[in-house]
Amino acid sequence: MSATAEHAELAERFGTPLYVYDLDRVRAARRSLFGDLPDGFHLYYALKANPHPAIARALREGAGPACRAEISSPGELAAALEAGYAGGDCLYTGPGKTDAEIALALSHGVRRFSVESIGDLRRIGGHARAAGVVADCLLRVNALASGAATGLRMMGKPSQFGIDAETLPGLAAELSSVDGTRIAGAHFFTMSNAASEDALLAEYDQAAQSAVRLAELGFALDYVDLGGGFGAPYATPGERSAYPGLRDGLASVLDDRLPGWRTGSPELACESGRSLVAGAGSLLCRVVNVKTSRDNTFVVLDGGINVLGGLSGIGRLLPAAVQLDDAAPTETAHLAGPLCTPGDLLGRAVRVPKLTAGDLVTIPNTGAYGPTASLVHFLSRPAPAEVVLDGGEVVSATRLESRRTPVALA
């Protein structure tokens, strides 16, 4: 059965809008990315990309190295646990960890946290002491400079993320003396969606140099997370980025900057979300209406930014024009969703095949930043169904539901 025929059958069976996730492609991406990294690296899956438990589970089960879980909320912790990760497999990150979520994470065995500030560290330490444990903390460093000029910049500027590198000498004694915590190393997240292999290597070299400076200040350097940056197309046709020289190039950088890494001093990790799962997903929508307004064609779909927001409210991910994975384009149109707002546009001036009401369209590479990154509650429309395939067979069909529940009065 062709992909188009398979999608048509699934759309008839489960309705639209519909996400289809292929676990075979998830596993292939995991194998590929581990193969791009030097032996011995840990790889964290960032559940923010797609917290569906079946996808998270596929990244830790089966032959070959297993991913760990990078989480930033109680909901992501719950998804990781449902997918079979132990608390010890998780790295808890984020600049606004609350008392309640820190306590919850510790109660489920999470012991590794990325810390963004001295206040963050103190909160973790207080709850670790109360639980009678010690939390291993990685200092997230906001370096003064970055190694590359492409991709979404995450360091080298004022930010809620990380401890400014220039303040670390003055904070060293305080950071090292918070009861209930142990500074175990460093966490860097320099960029997202690197444009090239050279850009990635430049960033990792910069991160490794920053890690060396931490060691020079007296911090333990048992574990270093170099971050991510691995590229993949989002809601547009194409394949995930290939990095044929990254394995050897990164090994050379580490031999120069952190020569003990080959014997596990420090242990090393990277993290990825979109690169692991974007290519495993497709979004299927039906054409509801096609209309012309002042010489512009609007193709109105049954799903819009409520199902494919891509964090569009902050201009984060959605490309200028979503590209359909269908027949050869023959005309230009605007792709609109069903919401009562002029902002519900998935693409402006998109080249599309000739479409009529009832046609099925496929938006590719949407395995990341789908429903949970969208305005899924706006206008109270139903969330899209999500179907999971394994070996070509449907193994799961679910839909996120929202409901009001009572909150206990103080």
* Nearest one of 156, 120, 126, 155 to 139, comparing CA atoms: 120
pLDDT tens digits, one per residue of 63-89: 899 999 999 999 999 999 999 999 999
- Rounded to whole angstroms, the Cα distance separating 267 from 40 reads 8
* Nearest one of 409, 384, 243 to 308, comparing CA atoms: 384
Residue 152 near residue 192, CB atoms below 8 Å: yes
CA atoms in the 13 A half-sphere facing the CB of 308: 36
pLDDT tens digits, one per residue of 155-171: 556 677 788 889 999 99
Give pLDDT, residue 87: 98
Neighbours of 156 (CB within 10 A): 16
pLDDT tens digits, one per residue of 86-131: 999 999 999 999 999 999 999 999 999 999 999 999 999 999 999 9
pLDDT tens digits, one per residue of 184-228: 999 998 777 787 899 999 999 999 999 999 999 999 999 999 999
Residue 362 near residue 284, CB atoms below 8 Å: yes
Neighbours of 173 (CB within 10 A): 10
Neighbours of 297 (CB within 10 A): 16
Q: Which amino acid is at 11?
A: A
Asked whether the bond before 17 is cis by omega within 30 degrees of 0, the reply is: yes
The answer, yes or no, to whether residue 54 has pLDDT greater than 60, is yes
Q: Which amino acid is at 93?
A: T
- Domains of the chain (ranges; CATH) run 93-272 (3.20.20.10), 279-399 (2.40.37.10)
Mean pLDDT computed over 16-33: 98
Q: How confident is the model at residue 315 (pLDDT cuts 50, 70, 90)?
A: low
pTM of the model: 0.93
* Mean pLDDT estimate for the chain: 91
- Rounded to whole angstroms, the Cα distance separating 230 from 271 reads 9
Give pLDDT, residue 151: 45
CA atoms in the 13 A half-sphere facing the CB of 269: 28
The three-class DSSP label of residue 319 is coil
> CA dist 315 to 152, 282, 362, 393, Å?
12, 21, 22, 36
pLDDT tens digits, one per residue of 317-374: 555 457 777 777 789 999 999 999 888 999 888 888 999 999 999 999 999 999 999 9
* Those residues with Cβ within 8 angstroms of residue 3's Cβ, 6 or more apart along the chain or in another chain: none
Q: Strand 68-71 and strand 90-92: pairing?
A: parallel
Give pLDDT, residue 27: 97
What percentage of the chain exceeds 70 in pLDDT?
92
